[in-house]
Chains A and B, each alone.
Chain A
Amino acid sequence: MTYSRQADFGTPEAHSDKAVTLTVDGRPVTVPAGTTVMRAAAEIGTAIPKLCATDSLKQFGSCRLCLVEIDGARGTPASCTTPVAEGMVVHTQTPRLQKLRKGVMELYISDHPLDCLTCAANGDCELQDQAGAVGLRDVRYGKEGATHLGQAKDQSNPYFDFDPSKCIVCSRCVRACDEVQGTLALTIEGRGFGSKVSAGLASDDFLGSECVSCGACVQACPTATLSEKSLIEIGTPERAVVTTCAYCGVGCTFRAEMRGEQLVRMVPWKDGKANRGHSCVKGRFAWGYATHKERITRPMIRASIDQPWREVSWDEAFAHAASELKRIQAKYGRRSVGGITSSRCTNEETFLVQKLIRAGFGNNNVDTCARVCHSPTGYGLKTTFGTSAGTQDFDSVMQADVILVIGANPTDGHPVFASRMKRRLRPKNGQPGARLIVVDPRRTDLVRSPHIEAAHHLPLRPGTNVAVLTAMAHTIVTEGLADEAFVRERCDWDEYQEWAEFVSRPENSPETLAAVTLVDPAELRGAARLYATGGNAAIYYGLGVTEHSQGSSTVMAIANLAMATGNIGRPGVGVNPLRGQNNVQGACDMGSFPHELSGYRHVSDPDARALFEADWGVAIDPEPGLRIPNMLDAAVDGAFKALYVQGEDILQSDPNTSHVAAGLAAMECVIVQDLFLNETANYAHIFLPGSTFLEKDGTFTNAERRIQPVRKVMEPLNGHADWEVTQLLARALGLDWNYRHPSEVMDEIARLTPSFAGVSFARLDELGSIQWPANDKAPDGTPVMHIDGFVRGKGKFVVTDYVPTDEKTGPRYPLLLTTGRILSHYNVGAQTRRTANTAWHPEDRLEIHPVDAEDRGLKDGDWVRLASRAGETSLRALVTDRVAPGVVYTTFHHPQTQANVVTTDYSDWATNCPEYKVTAVQVSPSNGPSHWQEDYEALSERARRIETAEAAE
């Protein structure tokens, strides 16, 4: 396959039930009413010359190149701004048009450097293409007059350059920043001949501006003005492979544009249904970790963690791992070993790891990092609706009238979806945007951003989600705003009445609960009324909901609210968990939890077990296994001795680091499979090198239940894709696995999992993606769930009583710490820290309110000691009123900070999901790193030594 750009229809698709037929250059074409002449022509393969138009942006009509003639119409209208009409007769190429276009083009080129041969866009430049298309043969104007040539480049952004000399001021970059990304960082400064693209003030460069480096402007640029640095360095790609991003749960699809095995750039795929052609700084640019020098590509073993690593052959590593696992099981029992599947790996890889544990280890001690993020979503939505997943697709947000965001910061955590949400929130064509309610202790960017202002921001005290939601329910029920007709038809009426009676109690009123939530009752009532009566209301939530001691209760409280107001079962409404990692949904679907087989069937269910037992030829333990925190407890007790961890860094990501370290240190065999020597590997005995998403085939499932293909574009640096490593380990343990390709694993998943029955690699190639359930009833998948009724039958209302966390502030620890993330980094940062994304966030900072800072004599940038009952660390302060007094906030992207040294063992009552979001802390001035940080750094350095072979004489 040779390289070509994705087709560009010039203007966005129009949606209308009415069809219009016209003739373009004698050829008839039928399109929806509202389509532009330019797009209608493109539909039949007629490329009208254009520069300022591209189909991701609203038509602009500035370049004057796309002129056409229309029978009966005066002059030469621009085809990009002229809508089609019935019977219209369009001519796209006439002598008059040719002359006009050539004149326009000549003017453009008179002020453009003619360095095509050495230009990064050579062969992939719309200006070059159009010059050819209009037949421009010479430029008559000479070079004497004023030009824009020879201006300094802005190379401040680590991923792309801005060369103003090549700019034709088509405004595509400015419009992309406005319309697609919604940051509005760019503008055209000056007017007339002085017009110039600017990233804000004249003093701003791209890096210092509000630009979030999403890449939309680079993608929109028709010339080399905005070019990826990788393209400038490597050259144009020669092929493109569509694949799925391995960062967050949005699941953007990209064209991996390749030259040989070298990745030139990742360009968002316009046909991707999750991202619709958009991207963020991580997926678009931050893939350099894949070939980072710190990647480990050879297996290593050691007898104890105080020894250096020794590189060994794969055979020796597998033989050693198998013998250790067998020895430990023989000595300590069948249940003394377990494993952790990765939410970063593919569905097929995850499925194989849990199969290895259930069928090979002979127990159910398998868990996944969803334990520490969205396990309450699984529990809560399964209990209330009957499925452990979100109810909508992302497109649904465009039909929402009210958007309630609780415990989520999508502009940082799920940026590409946030752009879509912001598009719905901004007024459009004179129509107001959707109204917004934000429930968050911090004033997140979404609360107030260009053209967006939340109707209500409820800055609650961390840990009081359930109280806030109960107070909202109180308002809805007592003010008669519930949709009782919906409830009677779809839900269990008796359970609803019990719930309604509970929430109606005076002690659950916003006024009474204000004492614990610290939320203004009038504001809360306003938010509840808006949610219940504002039209289609959709709830989006994140880890600020789940990572609490009442995470599962909060998820159920959200579900209650949606059911009580009838906001479920159609586009524009629903309950939407924003998943953290790329394949958290998939890891859960694949049976990564210790109590569930794939498709959320409990291990105690004899029918489900029988299915697997027949297929796998082994007995499945009917007892649930250990969850991650339980594994660590059992390890400290001496009952759990070996762990196989694929692609997760529990030492850095899990709470109470010293407890995790104690658990790992107590094990006799820790096997880590990862790209890098991560923090957990400091406690490992066997290291199996992992592969990146660019090096393997498989599928990821995003937050909308959308299964999307991951396609191999280069050979694994370590020699094996992760699924092959697991298979080889299984074979060393005596299991007769013979998968030749991940598609065979998916076939097995489909065979054993009713909601995946209609999924196969062939179907995915055909459809691009599939949202489960996909089976005989829904062969093309299910964008919106619970349409005619709930999966479980009747929707279940669950009374969720507010139970305060036991993590309390007091004189010693008077502040509440809550944690989160930032746009440029991802999770523990193992990938993004190994890219130029560190330009934006080189360290974790502690956000603290000016009042709290002043009380402690702290200035912005000071080193502070952050201490809780669990431990202490130090980092630099960031003084801001974005957090309320009494609340401090930090991220956990950097191992030097180790924010989780401070977080505690408290966890969700139903799932043991850790309470990351509430820790009582004290903040005080500090001189630098804490004892823990110093000790850990020394340990880390020691644990990462790799023995070097003696040089041959």
Chain B
Amino acid sequence: MNSQERLVYMANQIARNVATQPEPQAIVAVADHIKAFWDPRMKAMILAAPEGLTPVARAAVERLRTVQ
């Protein structure tokens, strides 16, 4: 796994772990988590190349783009 693939994996893994929440809340939870725990370069990398993200993780990354 290279770093980009690992970030996609991590975002999807967060999404899987909050999947019992209704989708809108799950999206916020994933976005908040990334915002709180990822360093700026990691955030920039996932924003630049969100390919491979599951729908909730993808929406979370999009949310991150708009709230940043």
A residues with a Cβ closer than 8 A to B are: 335, 364-365, 502, 549-550, 553, 594-595, 602, 604, 623-627, 630, 633-634, 636-637, 639, 799, 801, 803, 905, 909-912
Are A803 and B3 in contact, with the CB atoms below 8 A? Answer: no
Seed contacts A594-B39, A909-B10; 7 additional CB < 8 Å A-B pairs: A364-B39, A553-B17, A623-B40, A634-B3, A634-B41, A803-B16, A909-B14
- Given A633-B6, A801-B17, A909-B14, A595 contacting B36 (CB threshold 8 A): yes
A625 with B16: CB separation less than 8 A? no
Interface residues of B in 34-50 (CB under 8 A from A): 36-42
Chain A nearest CB from B31 CB (Å) reads: 14
Residue B13 is within 8 A (CB to CB) of chain A in the complex: yes
Within B2-40, the residues touching A (CB, 8 Å) are: 3, 6, 10, 13-14, 16-17, 19-21, 33, 36-40
Docked complex Cα distance between A167 and B21 (Å)? 68
| CB-based contact A910/B39 at 8 Å | no
A550 and B41 within 8 A (CB)? no
Chain A residues closer than 8 Å to B1, beta-carbon distance: 905
The minimal Cβ–Cβ distance linking B53 to chain A, given in whole angstroms, is: 15
> Residues of B contacting A626 with CB < 8 Å?
39, 41-42
**Leading 10 A-B pairs by shortest Cβ distance:** A633-B3, A909-B13, A909-B17, A801-B20, A799-B20, A626-B39, A623-B40, A803-B16, A637-B3, A909-B14
Chain B residues with CB under 8 A of A636: 3
Contact B20 A335 (CB under 8 A): no
Asked if B21 and A630 sit within 8 Å, CB to CB, the answer is no
**Are B38's CB and A624's CB within 8 A?**
yes
Chain B residue contacts of A912, Cβ below 8 A: 10
With A801-B20, A905-B1, A909-B17 as known contacts, state yes or no: A602 contacts B6, CB within 8 Å: no
Residue of B nearest to A804 (CB): B16
Q: Report whether over half of chain A's contact residues are helix, strand or loop; otherwise say mixed.
A: loop
A630 touches which of B16, B33, B36, B42 (Cβ 8 Å):
B42
Q: Chain B contacts of A634 at CB under 8 A?
A: 3, 41
B59 to chain A, nearest CB (A): 17
A335 and B17 form a contact (CB under 8 A): no
Shortest Cβ gap from A905 to chain B (Å): 7
Bound form: Cα–Cα A602–B37 in Å: 10
A637 CB contacts on chain B under 8 angstroms: 3
Please name 20 pairs of A and B residues whose Cβ atoms are closer than 8 Å in the assembled complex, sorted by A. Answer: A365-B39, A595-B36, A595-B37, A602-B36, A623-B40, A624-B37, A626-B39, A626-B41, A630-B39, A633-B6, A639-B41, A799-B20, A803-B13, A803-B17, A905-B1, A905-B6, A910-B14, A910-B33, A911-B37, A912-B10
Residues of B within 8 A of A911 (CB): 37
Select the residue from B3, B13, B21, B36 with max chain A CB neighbours within 10 A: B13
Chain A residues with Cβ below 8 Å from B6 are: 633, 905
Distance in angstroms between the alpha carbons of A909 and B11 in the assembled complex: 8
Residues of A within 8 A of B10 (CB): 909, 912
Q: Which residues of B contact A910 (CB under 8 A)?
A: 14, 17, 33, 37
Choose from B20, B36, B39, B40 the contact partner of A502 (Cβ within 8 Å). B20
Q: Which residues of B contact A604 (CB under 8 A)?
A: 36
How far is B16's CA from A210's CA once the two chains are assembled, in angstroms?
47
Kindly provide the distance from the CB of A641 to the nearest chain B CB, expressed in whole angstroms.
13
How far is it, in angstroms, between the C-alpha of A589 and the C-alpha of B35 when the chains are bound?
22
Report the minimum CB–CB distance from A571 to chain B (whole Å).
Answer: 34
Give complex CA distance A602, B33 in Å.
Answer: 12
Contact between chains at A624 and B36 (CB < 8 Å): yes
User: Out of A335, A553, A905, which one reaches B39, CB within 8 Å?
Assistant: A335
Contacts of B20 in A (CB 8 A): 502, 799, 801
Q: How far is the CB of B54 from chain A (nearest CB, A)?
A: 13
| B-side contacts of A364, CB under 8 Å | 39
- Residues of A close to B39: CB separation below 8 A: 335, 364-365, 594, 623-626, 630
Q: How far is the CA of A365 from the CA of B10 in the complex (A)?
A: 19
A808 to B: closest C-beta gap in Å: 15
Provide the residues of chain B in CB contact with A624, threshold 8 Å. Answer: 36-39
* Closest chain A residue, CB of each to CB of B43: A623
Query: What's the Cα separation between A630 and B6 when bound, in Å?
Result: 10
For A602, list chain B residues within 8 Å (CB). 36
Closest CB-CB distance, A382 to chain B, in whole Å?
Answer: 11
- With both beta carbons as reference points, the residue of chain B lying nearest to A623 in the complex is identified as B40
Min distance, Cβ A903 to any Cβ of chain B, angstroms: 15
Beta-carbon nearest neighbor of B14 in chain A: A909
A553 surroundings in chain B (CB, below 8 A): 17
